Amino acid sequence: MKNVTINAQGLVKHFPIKLGLFKTLVSKENPFVHAVDGVSFHIASGEVFGLVGESGCGKTTTGRLLVRLLDLTEGQVTFKGTDLTSLSKKEMGRLRRQMQIIFQDPYESLDPRMSIYDIIAEPVRIQKTAENESEVSQKVAKSLEEFGMIPAEEYMYRFAHELSGGQRQRVSIARAFVLRPEFIVADEPVSMLDASIRSEVLKLLLATQKKYKTAFLYITHDIALARHVCDRLAVMYLGKIVEKGSTEEVIHEPLHPYTEALIAAVPVPDPTARRIRVTLKGEVPSAINPPTGCRFNTRCPHAMEICRKKEPPLIEVNKGHFVACHLHTKK
């Protein structure tokens, strides 16, 4: 593995559930939400790695664990060889210059009381990457213009509420890129935007990512979009990776029944293409008591006896293409 920017090994995150006083005294075990349960992957520099799954599958939690916005229950994250879990808060703060996050909702991730200028200047000031204020303003202007907010002066002194959704998300992306980080977590950066604006923002985002060779974790529920964005992707279900590999391989030769269902569920923007649809029954089971064995067995059309008992390991079927399913485990 060359140029690995970020490496996640066996990430586990359990959120404790708060019980009432009586239950705390009576019950023996503390229940947990198993948000992320043993997730491993690496991202090379300049690579876009996608994390795909339904809501509640733990993809956002994984993203936050990588930049240590949440602390791990178990596992290890290394950023260019440095173990993040061993760092103190101060050291971590310094390292944040190299790792940033773009949040999903541009309506909530920008401070309504700060001007656009201050929003983008804030990371620069905190990390002290500029000598003086004129350099700060240069950086802010350049970053805004990179994302199509031209001329920057027209937008700089406005507030978030004066901008449209697409413009806000551009600001939030500009803020993530202003420090030239080496790793960015993009958590559904365009899911709140309209189609016509979405592709424009996405284009700018990917062009900038290519330009600076940023390692990217792209979190999305839309597998069609992931196909256009990612080099490699992993499909998550209930806190676990069920399939991982190069994007084209996963989409054209899906091995896991869940991946198949996910692909079949995507509506196709072509009325003449009528496909046979595998619709899954039911909904994602609770992550408090996930099903035993394979977590997908309750909804899987191919579920066998073994699936209810034994958890399938993530094995490499083809080079770089991993799957966790008993249908593909060698006897």
Contact positions toward another protein, by CB under 8 A?
54-55, 148, 164-167, 194-200, 202-203, 221-225, 227-228, 248, 251, 261-273, 275, 277, 279-280, 283
Q: Nearer Cβ to another protein, position 92 or 159? A: 159
At its nearest, how many Å lie between another protein and the CB of residue 313?
25
If we measure between CA atoms, which residue out of 84, 114, 106 comes closest to residue 96?
Answer: 84
Q: Rounded to whole angstroms, how far apart are CA atoms 156 and 179?
A: 17
Run of H or E including 233? strand 232-237
At its nearest, how many Å lie between another protein and the CB of residue 117?
20
Q: Nearer Cβ to another protein, position 43 or 230? A: 230
Beta-bridge mates of residue 234: 51, 244
Q: List for the chain the helix, strand, coil content (%; round to 5).
A: 35, 25, 40
Run of H or E including 242? strand 240-246
Q: Rounded to whole angstroms, how far apart are CA atoms 219 and 212?
A: 20
Run of H or E including 154? helix 152-156
Q: Nearer Cβ to another protein, position 121 or 261? A: 261
At its nearest, how many Å lie between another protein and the CB of residue 327?
20
Run of H or E including 15? strand 4-16
At its nearest, how many Å lie between another protein and the CB of residue 73?
26
At its nearest, how many Å lie between another protein and the CB of residue 42?
24
Beta-bridge mates of residue 203: none
If we measure between CA atoms, which residue out of 78, 82, 46 comes closest to residue 65?
Answer: 78
Q: Nearer Cβ to another protein, position 129 or 199? A: 199
Please tell me whether residue 32 adopts helix, strand or coil conformation.
strand
Q: Nearer Cβ to another protein, position 109 or 167? A: 167
Q: Nearer Cβ to another protein, position 34 or 59? A: 59
At its nearest, how many Å lie between another protein and the CB of residue 281?
8
